[in-house]
Chain A
């Protein structure tokens, strides 16, 4: 090959590579200029119809970027003013609180929102709103555990559950939020004692709420556990004889722990009107019923009727998460869970 043709070939190859590079960068980087970009931590495998119907009903193109809430928060924080995101949807209150504290959410106000979301499930300044609420409560095997055998979170630490308790891992946001909320309401020493008693029962630590439910349904030494109630709803929908039932915890005390899936408008949004319309749309009574029906969650409005699978276990006393209080104790919760050995 002569030097000249070598140079030509090299230049051509370099140009091709450069073109491919630019092409790939463009193809894999969906710019969010003409779309409403939603950072959503909600599972995108289930039926999340309201997000789809919003596109048709309100004639707005949306793009959902899925990920775990903490990752989305970290991403928003890094992107700062340059973020493409318009709306942040989380599955727990902790990450809403973090985003609000970091100044990543923009206050919005409207009569519709105030009507849709009760005051204790939204930020007073309008930076975040509850979307659905989910109960994290005790689950029992209907074959091996009677309905009155354990009725409180504390009770999971009783010695009779030694070798029979199953928990999801301590890295789960739901568990961290639960512990942080307990610390905010009861103080760290009391929560430490409770968790130490749980850990003394040598719980099996599993990877997801689904795994916990299936372990209770099986016979691998799991008789009681702690999960969100909608996971049970999904199992019961598949198999009405699924041998697990919830125990609504602490009914003679503060009530069953409620976490919050919520959303807020991102401060860096370039489409504030569309973003606000989405928040209003998703919290509207009609869509709330669809959320509840599709995912077995509870609406933020207590009048929204839960699905049959969950309704059959009766209404219960709710103890909604103290968002700011729990938020402040998230670090303490991680530290405490780590100290007591909740892996």
Chain B
């Protein structure tokens, strides 16, 4: 009893203090943001450390820019057309099996680019494609389009479904055919969502390392690897990383600018959506078979092939060494990352809500910047300051390398890299909680922390779950940062896939790759269930 009173007194005092100093939460938000994004400062700092490090590698830059431009245009157009087209199909048409197709289309989200690449390289010969055909910019564009279009699809579909039916009817009334009405009214109205999806897909493509490395496409991530490990010029690598960040930021700015100041009115919940057209006969069959074939190619065929190779590898005893250990490590790392990353995301999102200000908004933007960065850049950015700190700590306390010698460094990198992903879901969840609820609870004498724990967390549990699952799959398949920061004994499934694939040992790579994809299907399945429930 005494304890409880003491605690109450303490909390009450804290509440009074926080009411006096209104920006307590702002300070928290800014500090968290600086901790997360701070390491990234080593990127621009490299220009000061050795201003002309890049001079030796001049040829790399035009190549990297060219390859990046090809990817941006190719993957941009590819995901835009495929994602929007599929979204329009399931939103504006009805056909037998639509309810299934609607969600099957999302499944490629579970397929990491490098796993599909391993499948493509391992089977190129059997389907009559030369290795050189697959290993090209075109191959990269096709692979990225196939595994990344769901980002566009998901966002476009949500936008289409929330559009008011009467606008489409008005367009039809003005004499537009249905197809033209979709193209000229529905798609432009969904532009912010569609471009948002394309921006996400492009950021993924630019941050990718495994796919482009296996395909030999000279993007920034590949150039960074080449300069750092081929020529051992860390400063030049960091400078290339800075340029990549600039490209990513430019993409985000463009996306924001394209939205402009225009506000796109969305239907209120009472407005009725346009009833979908019923397709019949060959049209219905095509609407069903087309997407099915696509999913069969991107998810089905690789799964079957990986399973077949896995069986071969088990029979021939070609399993990657310490496979079970790698599986255990992957699960533990991904599981713990859920807690860490989701907690930081919640802190940031709630901080901004509790104390909305310019600085907290800026803090959020800074903290989530890492999502657009390739894991290798994040790893370098993390290893430089942490390594420095580690050696100081060791000198002072003699504890060995606590941060970079263990998985702690990896957790830092995962947080930098995936915070945006978790933040997005948590923030969307929080937005749906009416602010009046905060005030009511506060009026009843609860302090901010109390409100968060007792009101918000239970209400946004699904959003937290989503955030956690997204982080879980991303960590499971994360490759470059894990490669560089894994401690002794910390090999993961992704590492096992990578090491075997770089030696063209596709059978050995198959079982760990299969597990990554299967585990990746779980969150996709949960997401589907959650959205179905929300839609119902």
Q: Give the complex CA separation of A173 and B232 in angstroms.
A: 12
A308 at the interface (CB under 8 A from B): no
Of the candidate stretches A110-118, A181-189, A200-208, the one touching chain B is A200-208
Give the contacting residue for A330; candidates B7, B231, B318, B504; CB below 8 A: B231
B4 and A4 contacting across the interface, CB-CB below 8 Å: yes
A32 and B488 contacting across the interface, CB-CB below 8 Å: yes
Could you show 14 A-B contacts with beta carbons less than 8 Å apart?
A3-B7, A10-B453, A25-B408, A27-B329, A29-B487, A30-B487, A70-B229, A71-B484, A205-B132, A207-B131, A330-B232, A331-B231, A334-B226, A335-B59
Give the contacting residue for A171; candidates B226, B329, B491; CB below 8 A: B226
B231 and A65 contacting across the interface, CB-CB below 8 Å: no
Q: Give the complex CA separation of A309 and B506 in angstroms.
A: 24
B407 and A24 contacting across the interface, CB-CB below 8 Å: yes
Of the candidate stretches B40-48, B214-222, B295-303, B520-528, the one touching chain A is B214-222
Give the contacting residue for B489; candidates A3, A30, A211, A331; CB below 8 A: A30
B216 and A28 contacting across the interface, CB-CB below 8 Å: no
Contacts of B130 in A (CB 8 A): 204, 215, 220-221
Residue on B nearest A175 in the bound complex, by CB? B230
**Contact A207-B125, Cβ < 8 Å, known A84-B488, A331-B233:** no
A325 at the interface (CB under 8 A from B): no
Q: Apart from A17-B339, A171-B226, what are 13 other A-B pairs with CB-CB below 8 Å?
A: A20-B339, A24-B333, A28-B406, A29-B488, A29-B489, A71-B484, A73-B232, A79-B401, A205-B132, A207-B131, A207-B214, A210-B503, A215-B131
Contacts of A3 in B (CB 8 A): 4, 7-8, 11, 450
Contacts of B309 in A (CB 8 A): none
Residue on A nearest B394 in the bound complex, by CB? A82
**Contact A82-B489, Cβ < 8 Å, known A220-B131, A343-B218:** no
A338 at the interface (CB under 8 A from B): yes
Task: Give A19-42 interface residues, CB cut-off 8 Å to B.
Answer: 20-21, 24-25, 27-32, 37
A56 at the interface (CB under 8 A from B): no
A25 and B59 contacting across the interface, CB-CB below 8 Å: no
Task: Give B390-410 interface residues, CB cut-off 8 Å to A.
Answer: 390-391, 394, 400-401, 404-408
Q: Give the complex CA separation of A211 and B487 in angstroms.
A: 31
Give the contacting residue for A208; candidates B318, B333, B404, B504; CB below 8 A: B504
Residue on B nearest A221 in the bound complex, by CB? B130
Contacts of B264 in A (CB 8 A): none
A43 at the interface (CB under 8 A from B): yes
A28 and B453 contacting across the interface, CB-CB below 8 Å: no
Interface pairs A-B: 9 shortest CB-CB: A30-B489, A70-B229, A210-B504, A220-B130, A204-B132, A334-B231, A29-B406, A28-B490, A338-B59
User: Interface code B1-19, partner A: CB below 8 Å = 1, 0 otherwise?
Assistant: 0001001100100000000
B490 and A338 contacting across the interface, CB-CB below 8 Å: no
Task: Give B62-95 interface residues, CB cut-off 8 Å to A.
Answer: 63
Q: Give the complex CA separation of A169 and B130 in angstroms.
A: 16
Contacts of A67 in B (CB 8 A): 483, 499
How many residues of chain A have a CB within 8 Å of chain B?
61
A335 and B56 contacting across the interface, CB-CB below 8 Å: yes
Contacts of B228 in A (CB 8 A): 70, 74
**Contact A220-B132, Cβ < 8 Å, known A24-B336, A82-B394, A171-B225:** yes
Contacts of A4 in B (CB 8 A): 4, 7
Contacts of A204 in B (CB 8 A): 130-132
A82 and B400 contacting across the interface, CB-CB below 8 Å: yes
Expressed in whole angstroms, the minimum distance between the Cβ of A177 and any Cβ of chain B is 10
Residue on B nearest A219 in the bound complex, by CB? B130
Residue on B nearest A2 in the bound complex, by CB? B4
Contacts of A6 in B (CB 8 A): 450, 453-454
B332 at the interface (CB under 8 A from A): yes
Expressed in whole angstroms, the minimum distance between the Cβ of A166 and any Cβ of chain B is 8
**Contact A28-B489, Cβ < 8 Å, known A205-B135, A205-B216:** yes
Expressed in whole angstroms, the minimum distance between the Cβ of A209 and any Cβ of chain B is 8
B391 and A211 contacting across the interface, CB-CB below 8 Å: no
Q: Give the complex CA separation of A156 and B349 in angstroms.
A: 61
Expressed in whole angstroms, the minimum distance between the Cβ of B71 and any Cβ of chain A is 15
B185 at the interface (CB under 8 A from A): no
Q: Give the complex CA separation of A84 and B328 in angstroms.
A: 23
A7 at the interface (CB under 8 A from B): yes
A211 and B131 contacting across the interface, CB-CB below 8 Å: yes
Task: Give B120-138 interface residues, CB cut-off 8 Å to A.
Answer: 121, 125, 130-132, 135
Residue on B nearest A210 in the bound complex, by CB? B504
Contacts of B502 in A (CB 8 A): 68, 207-208
User: Interface code A68-90, partner B: CB below 8 Å = 1, 0 otherwise?
Assistant: 10110111001110101000000
B4 and A78 contacting across the interface, CB-CB below 8 Å: no
Expressed in whole angstroms, the minimum distance between the Cβ of B54 and any Cβ of chain A is 11
Contacts of B487 in A (CB 8 A): 28-30
Contacts of B56 in A (CB 8 A): 331, 335
B230 and A70 contacting across the interface, CB-CB below 8 Å: yes
B227 at the interface (CB under 8 A from A): yes
B187 at the interface (CB under 8 A from A): no
Task: Give A212-248 interface residues, CB cut-off 8 Å to B.
Answer: 214-215, 218, 220-221
Give the contacting residue for B231; candidates A32, A80, A205, A335; CB below 8 A: A335
Q: Give the complex CA separation of A233 and B161 in angstroms.
A: 60
A82 and B391 contacting across the interface, CB-CB below 8 Å: yes
Q: Give the complex CA separation of A220 and B133 in angstroms.
A: 10
A293 at the interface (CB under 8 A from B): no
Q: Give the complex CA separation of A3 and B451 in angstroms.
A: 11
A98 at the interface (CB under 8 A from B): yes
Q: Give the complex CA separation of A264 and B344 in angstroms.
A: 43
B421 at the interface (CB under 8 A from A): no
A98 and B232 contacting across the interface, CB-CB below 8 Å: yes
**Contact A71-B488, Cβ < 8 Å, known A45-B320, A169-B216, A343-B218:** no
User: Interface code A165-180, partner B: CB below 8 Å = 1, 0 otherwise?
Assistant: 0000111010010000
A78 and B383 contacting across the interface, CB-CB below 8 Å: yes
B321 and A45 contacting across the interface, CB-CB below 8 Å: yes
Task: Give A35-67 interface residues, CB cut-off 8 Å to B.
Answer: 37, 43-45, 63, 65-67
Most buried by B among A20, A29, A70, A170: A29
User: Interface code A310-337, partner B: CB below 8 Å = 1, 0 otherwise?
Assistant: 0000000000000000000011001100
Contacts of B406 in A (CB 8 A): 25, 28-29
B366 at the interface (CB under 8 A from A): no
B7 and A63 contacting across the interface, CB-CB below 8 Å: no
A120 at the interface (CB under 8 A from B): no
Contacts of B7 in A (CB 8 A): 3-4, 7
A27 and B125 contacting across the interface, CB-CB below 8 Å: no
A79 and B404 contacting across the interface, CB-CB below 8 Å: yes
Residue on A nearest B380 in the bound complex, by CB? A74
A251 at the interface (CB under 8 A from B): no
Q: Give the complex CA separation of A66 and B500 in angstroms.
A: 12
Expressed in whole angstroms, the minimum distance between the Cβ of A310 and any Cβ of chain B is 19
Q: Give the complex CA separation of A335 and B60 in angstroms.
A: 8
Contacts of A30 in B (CB 8 A): 487-490
Residue on A nearest B483 in the bound complex, by CB? A71
Residue on B nearest A102 in the bound complex, by CB? B232
Contacts of B500 in A (CB 8 A): 45
A338 and B57 contacting across the interface, CB-CB below 8 Å: yes
Contacts of B336 in A (CB 8 A): 20-21, 24
Task: Give B273-332 interface residues, CB cut-off 8 Å to A.
Answer: 318, 320-321, 328-329, 332
A71 and B229 contacting across the interface, CB-CB below 8 Å: yes
B387 at the interface (CB under 8 A from A): yes
Q: Give the complex CA separation of A147 and B390 in angstroms.
A: 57
Contacts of B232 in A (CB 8 A): 70, 73-74, 98, 330-331
Residue on A nearest B230 in the bound complex, by CB? A334
Q: Give the complex CA separation of A43 and B503 in angstroms.
A: 8
A207 and B216 contacting across the interface, CB-CB below 8 Å: yes
Give the contacting residue for B135; candidates A17, A31, A80, A207; CB below 8 A: A207
